[in-house]
Amino acid sequence: MFLEELEMLAGAGRVSRQEPMALHTTFQIGGPADYYVTPQKAGEAAGIVRLCQREQMPLTVIGNGSNLLVSDKGVRGVVMALEGSLAFRENRALLPKRASWSFYDFFIKGTQVWAGAGIPLSALAVRTAAAGLSGLEYAGGIPGTLGGGIMMNAGAYGGELADCLKEVLLIRPDGELVLVAAADLKLGYRTSRMQQTGEIVAGAHLQLSEGDAEQALARIREFNARRREKQPLEYPSAGSAFKRPEGYFAGKLIQEAGLSGFRIGDAQISEKHCGFLINRGAATATQVRELIQEVQARVWNQAGVRLEPEIRLLGDW
pLDDT in tens, 220-269: 999 999 999 999 999 999 999 999 999 999 999 999 999 999 999 999 99
Task: Write out residues in the chain with pLDDT < 70, as ranges.
Answer: 83-105
What are 88-126's pLDDT values in tens digits?
Answer: 333 334 444 555 556 666 788 899 998 888 888 999 999
What is the predicted pLDDT for the residue at 118? 87
- Specify the 3-state DSSP secondary structure of 81: strand
Are the beta carbons of 314 and 300 closer than 8 angstroms? no
pLDDT score, position 11: 81
* Calpha distance 126→143 (Å, rounded): 13
Instruction: Give the integer Cα–Cα distance in Å for 284 and 205.
Output: 38
Question: SS3 for 34?
Answer: strand
Q: What is the pLDDT of residue 92?
A: 38
Q: In CATH, what class is 2-81?
A: alpha beta
The pTM assigned to this predicted structure is 0.89
Give me the phi and psi of 200, to 5 degrees please.
-110, 130
Structure confidence at residue 103 (pLDDT): 64
The segment(s) of the chain belonging to CATH 3.90.78.10 are 232-314
Q: How far, rounded to the nearest angstrom, does the alpha carbon of residue 81 sit from its chain's CA centroid?
A: 11
Listed in order, the ranges of the chain carrying CATH 3.30.465.10 are 95-215
**What is the second-level CATH architecture of the domain 95-215?**
2-Layer Sandwich (3.30)
Query: Within its chain, how far is the Cα of 128 from the centroid?
Result: 19
Architecture of domain 232-314: Alpha-Beta Complex (3.90)
- Show which residues are catalytic: 190, 240, 310
CA distance 168 to 255: 38
Enumerate the CATH 3.30.43.10 domain ranges in the chain, comma separated.
2-81
